[in-house]
Amino acid sequence: MEEVVNMGFLSLIPAILAIALCFITRNTVISIAIACIIGTLLAGQGVFGFPALLRTAVGTTDFAGVMLLNIFVGILVAYFQKTGAIQGFSQKLNDRRLSRRGAQLIAWFLGMFVYFSDSFSPLFVGSTMRSVTDKARISREKLAYIADSTSAPVSVLVPITGWAAYLSGLAVGVGCIATAEQGAALFLKAIPLNLYALTAVLFVGLIGSGIIKDFGPMAKAEKRAMEEGKVLRDGAVPLASNELTGMAAKEGFTPRVFLNFILPVIGIICIALGTFFANHSANTRAAFMTVIVLMSISMMIQGFTLQEIADTMMQGIKGATPAVVLLALAYCVNQLSKDMGTANYIISLCEGFLTPRLLPAIIFVVSAIMAFATGSSWGTFAICMPLALPLAFAFTGNEVTILVVAVFAAVAGGGVFGDHCSPLSDTTILSSTGAACDHLDHVKTQLPYALVCGAIALVGYLLVGLAV
């Protein structure tokens, strides 16, 4: 596809269509795919323009790297489930009698510890801590909130996760960000300015420790649990964790928590951090691949057959497929935006009224609204990043300044904020599932806390804008 400097209003149609369809269908994958197909037709590429766009966008080492990372995470999560590591860990915690404060803080810590997968984290925290928090008379709504607020908000802050690779990849080719290493460097600089994620994670600790008292619907839920012993309200319809986790541990297999869970996680962290300090770039893919190979060998020694390990691996890959598909479409949107000159046209429209001082706050709000409506933070990143980042670079003369870093962080934090509030979000659903909580009860009790954190982040971006 030849690069088009500026196709005018036509260049906006794919993005507008993607956003409108996301609102209507609540399906980010289908919406972005349709937008890409129509975009290639508008760009004059004909009926077969979309396959050509897909080949161009995903036929890169950057895409291959991010895709492999997501697949590796899926395999490792499947291994954890098949070896019964989750069930064993839960039983060990259940044998200890914890206070309300202690149980909440442990759940908070576990959510931050299992940082590498926002999908695995809420299921892990909910399923391992449920019996513990029930004994401590903590409402299921509170457990779901802790699990939800330590999943995506933590994953988007850690530079050795699929989220980091995904967001960094979206920045490659925009402005002066020419390589994956430069994209990763931008992600690192944006961590202190990812205000919503930082506030959300800290807020959980403050709530769990009692420094900030529960308020709103959550206070009523907690009062019910403490005074009546009802961790669920009367008439609640909790989501059962088995409906989504699906995979059971091998029958007759004795769970070995340290060997099959704690040690692999420590191994990933050590290898990733070691490569980061050695090469100034964390080789997360190598860390996951190494641990998967070693864990496969360990499982064979523990009595798993080669076929059982292969079947478990394939189930993990299957679980990662939706993220890979969305990732491919995200790269297509990024490429299409560059080909059609979307950013150039938006810049020409906004030059008269969009100021650098307001840009981070506006981007944060737009990203939050889009993610809330669609329930997809990654889909929001795919649409917003190719539009927001070029605007910031235009204001800075194509240099990485605090404005560019703040806008990058605002897209990341805004997407997580909207996704965090949305009842359509996969992590919100998984949090309700892991905690066995009524889904709407989880949404209602969590929303006021998320809005407070969002308001703090918005004020922060306004202050950052005044400083540029």
Q: Give the tens place of pLDDT for each residue, 347-382.
A: 566 556 678 888 999 999 888 887 886 667 887 888
Would you state the structure tokens that stand for residue 294, as one six-digit string? 């070693």
Average pLDDT of 215-237?
90
Per-residue pLDDT tens digits for 257-273: 889 988 988 888 788 77
> If you search the block for the tokens 């190598």, which residue do you land on?
286
Give residues with Cβ within 8 angstroms of 55, minimum separation 6.
Answer: none
Determine the average pLDDT of the residues in 224-246: 74
Distance CA 108, CA 128 (A): 12
Taking the CA atoms of 239, 242, 246 and 249 in sequence, report the sign of the dihedral they define.
Answer: positive
Give me the pLDDT at residue 244, please.
39
| Residue-level length of the chain | 468
Q: Which of 35-44, 333-342, 425-434 has the lowest mean pLDDT?
A: 333-342
Torsion of CA 23, 435, 250, 112, to 10 degrees: 80
pLDDT at 283 over 90: no
- Read off the pLDDT of residues 51-103 as tens digits, 9 standing for 90 and up: 888 888 888 777 787 788 778 877 887 888 888 887 777 677 767 777 889 88
Structure tokens at 458: 């918005």
Residue 117 has pLDDT above 70, yes or no: no
Percent of the chain with pLDDT over 70: 89
**Helix/strand/coil (H, E, C) string of 392-408?**
HHHHHCCCCCHHHHHHH
Burial class (CB in 10 A: 0-12, 13-18, 19+), 436: buried
User: Nearest-5° angle of CA 443, CA 452, CA 366?
Assistant: 80
Which of the listed ranges 62-66, 234-238, 347-351, 415-419 does the model predict with the highest average pLDDT?
A: 415-419
Rounded (to 5) percent helix, strand, coil in the chain: 75, 0, 25
pLDDT of residue 323: 65
Q: 453 pLDDT exceeds 90?
A: yes
Q: Please compute, for residue 126, the number of CA atoms within 13 A of its CA located in the half-sphere on the CB side.
A: 36
Q: What is the DSSP string of 310-323?
A: HHHHHHHHHHHHHH
**Residues 151, 201: Cα–Cα separation, whole Å:** 9
Residue 405 Cα distances to 167, 253, 335, 388, angstroms: 12, 49, 21, 11
pLDDT for position 63: 79
Other beta carbons less than 10 A from residue 51's beta carbon? 12
State the pLDDT at residue 127.
75
**Hey, which residues does 438 pair with through a beta bridge?**
238
Q: How confident is the model at residue 3 (pLDDT cuts 50, 70, 90)?
A: very low
Over 50: is that where the pLDDT of 290 sits? yes
What pLDDT shows up at residue 299?
94
Which pair of structure tokens corresponds to residue 291? 């641990």
pLDDT of residue 203: 97
The per-residue pLDDT for 263 is: 92
Mean pLDDT of 415-442: 83
CB atoms within 10 A of CB 435: 34
Rounded CA-CA distance 29/33 in Å is: 6
Q: Which of 132-141, 206-215, 280-289 has the lowest mean pLDDT?
A: 280-289
Query: How would you class 273 by CB atoms within 10 Å of its CB: exposed for 0-12, middle for 13-18, buried for 19 or more?
Result: middle
- How far is the C-alpha of 162 from the C-alpha of 373, rounded, in Å? 23
Q: What is the pLDDT of residue 304?
A: 92
Give the global pTM. 0.73
Q: Which is nearest to 468 in space by CA: 411, 395, 409, 373?
A: 395
Least confident interval from 101-105, 123-127, 313-317, 362-366: 123-127
Question: Could you give the C-alpha distances from 7 to 55, 136, 268, in angstroms and in order?
Answer: 22, 61, 46
Rounded mean pLDDT, 26-35: 77
Distance CA 101, CA 210 (A): 7
What phi and psi, each to the nearest 5 degrees, are found at residue 58?
Answer: -95, -10
Lowest pLDDT segment from 49-63, 105-119, 250-264, 340-354: 340-354
**Which pLDDT belongs to residue 451?**
96
Confidence of residue 346 (pLDDT cuts 50, 70, 90): low
What is the average pLDDT score of the chain? Answer: 83
Contact by Cβ (8 Å): 342, 15: yes
Sign of CA dihedral 456, 459, 461, 464: negative
Greater confidence (53 vs 292) lies with 292
Long-range contacts at 274-277 (CB < 8 A, ≥ 24 apart): 276/159, 276/160
Per-residue pLDDT tens digits for 148-204? 999 889 989 988 777 888 888 888 877 778 787 888 889 999 999 999 999 999 999
